[in-house]
């Protein structure tokens, strides 16, 4: 009787060892699933339509996934680890019309090439209204200054070293007549002129 009990116990242990054991579910994420699925690569180059030139900085994304990339300085882009299937590739860049390329087939361990052209998009801005006042505000013009050295006065043709004759050759300056050294500056009266030597006002500079 004791022998029979030992045989039954041994048989029960063997059956327990071969029975399927319950397993605990392990969390998975999209990255793990992507690693287990066969994937491919999408490559290409992006151009502007007119003028035709490579476009850097274009955002390239795959609809239905979190895969995205940017084109490099030569306009080329690469999307790796794309699950096998058919996708729509989106191309976006500020100043250009967005483009969607449908039915891009990704095959396992293969490279799919996609070259596109983006069309420049005119950006509409809000209108600006400029309103002017009744009296225009004029900026105060600084006083114009023309400097002559003593050597320049001496060498000036026809001046004979006379300061008044030198001044008469300046723009907007004229003599009243040949018998007077009085000057008219910008249409003003000769009495409106002032002469200063070493910051000292001189009534008449003709004797210099």
Same domain, 37 and 112: yes
**112 in any annotated domain:** yes
- Asked, for residue 2, whether it belongs to a domain, the answer is no
Residue 12 lies in a domain: no
CATH classification at residue 81: 2.60.40.1120
For residue 53, the cross-strand partners are: 48
Query: Is 113 found in the same domain as 55?
Result: yes
Q: Which of 102, 118, 134 is the last residue of a domain?
A: 118
The answer to whether residue 69 sits within a structural domain is yes
Are 201 and 191 contacting, i.e. CB atoms less than 8 angstroms apart?
Answer: no
Same domain, 105 and 158: no
Q: What is the DSSP string of 68-117?
A: EEE--TTSEEEEEEEESEEEEEEEE-TTB--EEEEEEEE-TT-EEE--EE
Q: Tell which residue, 66, 68, 57, 62, has the closest CA to residue 88.
A: 62
Please state, in angstroms and as integers, the Cα–Cα distance from residue 39 to each residue in 69, 82, 104, following that order. Answer: 17, 5, 14
170 part of a folded domain: yes
> Do residues 100 and 165 share a domain?
no
**Do 185 and 111 share a structural domain?**
no
Which residues neighbour 159 within 8 Å (Cβ) at sequence distance 6 or greater? Answer: 153, 165, 166, 169
Using CA atoms, how far apart are residues 116 and 114, in angstroms rounded to an integer?
A: 7
For the chain, 208 residues long, give each residue's pLDDT as a single digit of tens.
Answer: 444 444 444 444 444 444 555 444 444 455 555 567 899 999 999 999 888 899 999 999 999 999 999 999 999 999 999 999 999 999 999 889 999 999 999 999 999 999 999 999 877 778 888 887 766 666 665 666 777 777 887 777 777 777 777 777 787 887 777 777 778 888 788 778 778 878 888 777 766 5
The model's pTM is 0.45
Are both 164 and 106 inside the same structural domain?
Answer: no
Same domain, 37 and 101: yes
CA distance 80 to 67: 8
The domain in which residue 88 lies consists of 32-118
Q: Are residues 166 and 110 in the same domain?
A: no
For residue 128, is it within any domain?
Answer: no
5: in domain: no
- Residues 43 and 111 reside in one and the same domain: yes
Residues 154, 103 within the same domain:
no
3-state secondary structure at position 28: coil
How many structural domains are present in the chain?
2
- Which residue's entry shows tokens 């790796």? 80
Q: Which two tokens stand for residue 105?
A: 């087939």
In a domain, residue 162? The reply is yes
How far apart are alpha carbons 164 and 183 in whole angstroms? 8
């Amino acid at each position: 009787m004791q022998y029979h009990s030992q045989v039954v116990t041994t048989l029960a242990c063997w059956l327990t060892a071969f029975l399927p054991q319950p397993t605990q579910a392990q969390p998975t994420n999209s990255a793990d699933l992507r690693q287990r699925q066969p994937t491919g690569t999408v490559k290409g180059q992006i151009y502007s339509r007119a003028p035709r030139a490579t476009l850097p900085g274009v955002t390239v994304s795959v609809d239905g996934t979190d895969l995205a990339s940017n084109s490099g300085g030569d306009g080329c882009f690469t999307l790796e680890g794309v699950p096998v299937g058919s996708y729509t590739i989106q191309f976006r860049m500020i100043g250009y019309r967005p483009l969607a390329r449908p039915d891009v087939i990704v095959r396992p361990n293969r490279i799919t090439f996609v070259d596109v052209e983006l069309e420049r998009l005119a950006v509409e801005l809000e209108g600006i209204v400029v309103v002017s006042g009744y009296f225009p505000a004029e900026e105060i013009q600084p006083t114009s200054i023309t400097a002559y050295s003593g050597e320049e006065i001496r060498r000036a043709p026809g001046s004979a070293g006379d300061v008044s004759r030198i001044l008469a050759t300046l723009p907007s300056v004229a003599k009243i007549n040949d018998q007077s050294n009085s000057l008219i500056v910008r249409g003003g009266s000769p009495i409106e002129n002032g002469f200063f030597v070493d910051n000292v006002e001189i009534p008449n500079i003709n004797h210099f």
